[in-house]
Structure 1
Amino acid sequence: MLLFSLLVSLSFFFGHFIAGDIDPGVLMALRFAVAAFMLWGLLLWLRVAPVWARFWRFALVGALMAIYFITMFEALARTTAVSTAAVFTLTPLMAAGYGWLILRHNTGPWVLAALLIGAAGAVWVIFRADLAALLRFEIGTGEAIFFFGALAHAAVPALLRRYCQDVSPLQSSFGTTVGALLVTWVYAAPEAMITPFLDLPARVWWVLAYLAIVTTALTFFLLQYASKRLPPAKVMAYTYLVPTWVVAWDISAGRWPASPILFGIAATLIALLMLLRVEVPARKTP
Structure 2
Amino acid sequence: MQYLSKLESINTTPSQVESKLPIHALMLLMVTLVASSFPVGAAITHDLPPVVMMFLRFLAAALFFAPYVFGRNGLTLPPAKALLNYALLSLPLVGYFWCMFEALRTTSALNTSALYTTLPAMTAIASFFVIKQARCGRRSLGLLSGTIGALWIVFRGDLSALLSLQLNAGDLLFLFGCILLSLYNAFLKKVYSGEPQEVMTFWVISFGALALLLVSLPSFGQVTWAEVEPSTYIGVLYLALFTTLFTFFLLQLGTQKLGPTKVAAYSYLTPVLVMIFTVVLGTEQLSWRLAPGALLVMLAMWLIQTQPRAKA
Q: Distance in 2 between matches of 1:50 and 1:24?
A: 33
TM-score, normalisation: structure 2? 0.77
Cα distance, 1:273–1:258 mapped onto 2, change above 3 Å: same
Q: Distance in 2 between matches of 1:140 and 1:14?
A: 21
What does residue 107 of structure 2 align with?
80
| Selected match of 2:195 from 146, 167, 176 | 167
Q: Deviations over 1:202-254 (max 9, x none)?
A: 101111110111222333555567778856x7665543321111122245557
What does residue 38 of structure 1 align with?
64
Asked whether the 8 Å contact 1:31–1:208 carries over to 2, the reply is yes
Q: Distance in 2 between matches of 1:21 and 1:61?
A: 28
Whether 1:259 and 2:310 are equivalent positions in the alignment is: no
Whether 1:131 and 2:171 are equivalent positions in the alignment is: no
Asked whether the 8 Å contact 2:118–2:150 carries over to 1, the reply is no
Q: Distance in 2 between matches of 1:17 and 1:140?
A: 19
Q: Distance in 2 between matches of 1:189 and 1:226?
A: 38
Q: CA RMSD in A?
A: 3.1
Q: CA deviation at 1:126?
A: 2.6
What does residue 194 of structure 1 align with?
222
1:150-161 to 2 correspondence within 5 Å? Answer: 150-161=178-189
Q: Which moved more, 1:211-220 or 1:166-175?
A: 211-220
SS in structure 1 of the partner of residue 133 of structure 2:
coil
Give the residue type in structure 2 aligned to 1:128.
Answer: R
| Selected match of 1:212 from 240, 243, 263 | 240
Q: CA deviation at 1:139?
A: 6.0
Cα distance, 1:148–1:260 mapped onto 2, change above 3 Å: closer
Q: CA deviation at 1:196?
A: 2.1
Structure 2: gaps (5+ residues): 1-26
Give the residue type in structure 1 aligned to 2:120.
Answer: P
| Selected match of 1:16 from 42, 47, 61 | 42
Whether 1:242 and 2:294 are equivalent positions in the alignment is: no
SS in structure 2 of the partner of residue 278 of structure 1:
coil
Q: Which moved more, 1:119-128 or 1:107-116?
A: 119-128
Q: CA deviation at 1:3?
A: 4.2
SS in structure 2 of the partner of residue 260 of structure 1:
helix
Cα distance, 1:27–1:74 mapped onto 2, change above 3 Å: closer
What does residue 9 of structure 2 align with?
none
Structure 1: gaps (5+ residues): none
Cα distance, 1:237–1:248 mapped onto 2, change above 3 Å: same
Asked whether the 8 Å contact 2:42–2:101 carries over to 1, the reply is no
What does residue 23 of structure 2 align with?
none
TM-score, normalisation: structure 1? 0.83
Q: Distance in 2 between matches of 1:259 and 1:83?
A: 16
Q: How many residues of Structure 1 are paired with residues of Structure 2 in the alignment?
A: 281
| Selected match of 1:110 from 138, 160, 165 | 138
Asked whether the 8 Å contact 2:153–2:294 carries over to 1, the reply is yes
Q: Deviations over 1:30-73 (max 9, x none)?
A: 00011111111222444544552221121122111001122334
Q: Distance in 2 between matches of 1:252 and 1:73?
A: 22
Asked whether the 8 Å contact 1:118–1:267 carries over to 2, the reply is yes
Cα distance, 1:28–1:269 mapped onto 2, change above 3 Å: same
Q: Distance in 2 between matches of 1:215 and 1:185?
A: 21
What does residue 28 of structure 1 align with?
54
Cα distance, 1:166–1:107 mapped onto 2, change above 3 Å: same
What does residue 303 of structure 2 align with?
274
Cα distance, 1:157–1:35 mapped onto 2, change above 3 Å: same
Give the residue type in structure 2 aligned to 1:192.
Answer: F
Q: Which moved more, 1:273-282 or 1:203-212?
A: 273-282
Q: Which moved more, 1:114-123 or 1:2-11?
A: 2-11
Give the residue type in structure 1 aligned to 2:189.
Answer: R
SS in structure 1 of the partner of residue 307 of structure 2:
helix
Q: CA deviation at 1:194?
A: 3.0
